[in-house]
Amino acid sequence: MTTVRSADTMTIRLGGGQGFYGDGVGPVADLLDAGLDYLVCEALAELTLAILQKDRQRDEALGFTRDLPVYLQAAMPFIVDGRTKFITNAGGINPVAAGRAAAATLKAAGATGIKVATVVGDDVRGRGDELRLPADALFANAYLGARPIVEALDAGATVVVTGRVADASLFAAPLIHEFGWGWDDWDRLAAGVTVGHLLECSGQVTGGNYSGPWWENPDPLRIAFPLAECESDGSAVITKPEVAGGMVTFDTVREQLLYEVHDPANYLNPDVTADFTALSVDDLGDNRVRISGAKGGPPPDTYKGLVCTPAGWAGEARLAYPWPDAEAKARAALAFIKGRARANGVPVEEWYEEYFGVNAYGGPTVDLSAATEPSEVIGRLAWRTADAESAGRVSQGTGVLGLSGPPTISSTGRGRDGRPTQLLAVDAFPVDRKLVDSQVRVDIEEV
Amino acid sequence: MARIQLRDLCGSRSGDKGDISDLSLFADDQAAYEAIKAEVTAERVKEHFGDLVKGRVERFEAPNVLALKFVMYEALGGGAPRSLRSDNLGKTHAASLLRMYIDVPDEVATGARRRRAPVPR
């Protein structure tokens, strides 16, 4: 059966299949069964590029999120029979390798006639001189917008793999492609970015990390990933597969709408500046929330870039003590470690102390004058040194606490190897759009 | 007027961008929104977080969803992959903000709807 679809009346269904590298793949099956035109997998937090950089330091063929084939396999039957297209930024800092992995996964499943597009050009480390980047930059990438993905879809791609693309643009791209929205149709571009922003963190819009009555989530072991039913006018209904758990309400949607956006009236994206304060958010009941009335304006003059540089090494120790005097014991233990490191001449550049059970997270927001004596306290000491060897030397001083430190120390459990870890600085910088646009390329391979 | 802890009046969520912690504070009705808008200023939030936030705090309003946003600079120990903090992403800052007490009209306090989670002991 062939359905003739008109852009004015058709609804495009987008699914948010991943919110970070390591997100569960289970809920993806429910999304696909519910019916999707596009499964979009957003794999890259700021921190993720640093993790991928460590991978690439070990092996030049790595540097993409290695669970890409798992998501692709989950969607394979839907991709092969043409029901669903697949878009992901799993390419990380090595989209070429990710594109190859995607093609290999399709081939291994016996798929044929599938166009796999790889978007490259977000990597600007090679332009370090022009951009005045630090000489020791480990990676430097610009956030691309929706254009190269739209180009790939216009060319008939079914699978699109990118590196660093603004998260929301991964979702805006298929809407721009399907509805033919213009690149100066700011309100509709803003609508696409809004939908993308709401779906890009998977379970965070469907009852996950929810500050409302999270304990009332239906089927909390099976929190749904979200889907959006999108119209050509830019309005959309955010919802979830019926069979899955979690909830979609005005409250869960607004918590995600404002997540990490800074000024909500000027949410910056490479293709548009969106005004989330103009939006209408209407709870239709039955896990359906309608968003409409998006407003937008021209994007910033520059792309946002992120540059990563080495920032020393870290070690940490956790020492647990029970009542009575738990906090005093933990504080004495941390002072012990610091004192021994100083006595041994270990060059430590920064210390950070936390007391779990007292105020480890809340710090000065905790009113300790009203607190009762805690049942137990875990003291955590972290330190930064210039080199790994020094970070390790501090750790060597902690075992002595068992027999020579404050009384009644306890282990904090198994599974901590205590080896030093490398610290990385990731800093934002503006990138000239022309410099980036001139190197962006869409490679298409037919499997 | 009544004194109320934000925990009983509001929801909140936080996240990170570099060394910036980004918080949202949500009211459940218009009166509560007006109350937090009057009381939870950028200055008070900066003071509330003390040493946890080394830089400035900016506030934005999103009246369409009854929310305030706080953008706190130099708030994560140098940014997630550089930070020595356990909570290098600032996810717990949302909870820490809810510790604040504010003065609100009586009807806002009596209308506060945020509940506490049951503990299945």
Give residue-wise pLDDT tens across range A411-428: 887 766 678 999 999 999
What pLDDT score does A398 carry? 87
A369 touches chain B (CB under 8 A): no
Q: What is the pLDDT of residues B9-56, one digit of tens each?
A: 999 999 999 999 999 999 999 999 999 999 999 999 999 999 999 999
What pLDDT score does A46 carry? 81
Any bridge partners for residue A120, and if so which? Answer: A441
In chain A, the residue whose alpha carbon lies closest to the alpha carbon of B15 is: A260
- For A352, the closest of B26, B77, B100 (CB atoms) is B77
* Among the listed residues A228, A246, A230, the one whose alpha carbon sits nearest the alpha carbon of residue A238: A228
Class of domain B2-78+88-106: alpha beta
What is the spatial distance between Cα A144 and Cα A119, in angstroms, rounded to a whole number?
Answer: 10
What is the spatial distance between Cα A253 and Cα A311, in angstroms, rounded to a whole number?
Answer: 37
**Shortest Cα distance from A313 to chain B (angstroms)?**
9
**Shortest Cα distance from B12 to chain A (angstroms)?**
6
Structural domain boundaries of chain B?
Answer: 2-78+88-106
Q: Kindly state the tokens that stand for A280.
A: 């209408």
Q: What is the pLDDT along chain A (447 residues), one digit of tens a residue?
A: 445 567 778 999 999 999 999 898 999 999 999 999 999 999 998 878 888 988 988 998 899 999 999 999 999 999 999 999 999 999 999 999 999 999 999 999 999 999 999 999 999 999 999 999 999 999 999 999 999 999 999 999 999 999 999 999 999 999 999 999 999 999 999 999 999 999 999 999 999 999 999 999 999 999 999 999 999 999 999 999 999 999 999 999 999 999 999 999 999 999 999 999 999 999 999 999 999 999 999 999 999 999 999 999 999 999 999 999 999 999 999 999 999 999 999 999 999 999 999 999 999 999 999 889 999 999 999 999 999 999 999 998 788 999 999 999 998 877 666 789 999 999 999 999 999 999 999 999 999
What pLDDT score does B6 carry? 98
B109 touches chain A (CB under 8 A): no
Within 190-249 of A, beta carbons closer than 8 Å to B belong to: 209, 211-215
* Among the listed residues A240, A127, A380, the one whose alpha carbon sits nearest the alpha carbon of residue B84: A380
Structural domain boundaries of chain A?
Answer: 12-300, 307-427
Neighbours of B116 (CB within 10 A): 9
Using a CB-CB cut-off of 8 Å, the residues of chain B touching A424 are 81-82
Class of domain A307-427: alpha beta
What pLDDT score does A349 carry? 98
Q: Kindly state the tokens that stand for B119.
A: 């503990």
Q: What is the pLDDT of residues A356-406, one digit of tens each?
A: 999 999 999 999 998 899 999 999 999 999 999 999 999 987 889 999 999
* Element holding A27 (H helix, E strand): helix A26-34
Q: Kindly state the tokens that stand for A149.
A: 């993905």
In chain A, the residue whose alpha carbon lies closest to the alpha carbon of B119 is: A215
What pLDDT score does A326 carry? 98
C-beta atoms of B94 and A211 within 8 A: yes
In chain B, the residue whose alpha carbon lies closest to the alpha carbon of A423 is: B82
Nearest 5°: phi and psi at A318? -125, 125
Counts of helices then strands in chain B (DSSP H, E): 4, 6
Any bridge partners for residue A441, and if so which? Answer: A120
* DSSP state string for A47-114: HHHHHHHHHHHH-TT--S-TTHHHHHHHHHHHHHTTS-EEEE-TTTT-HHHHHHHHHHHHHHTT--S-
What ipTM goes with this model?
Answer: 0.98
What pLDDT score does A8 carry? 78
A143 touches chain B (CB under 8 A): no
Burial of A9 (0-12, 13-18, 19+ CB in 10 A): exposed
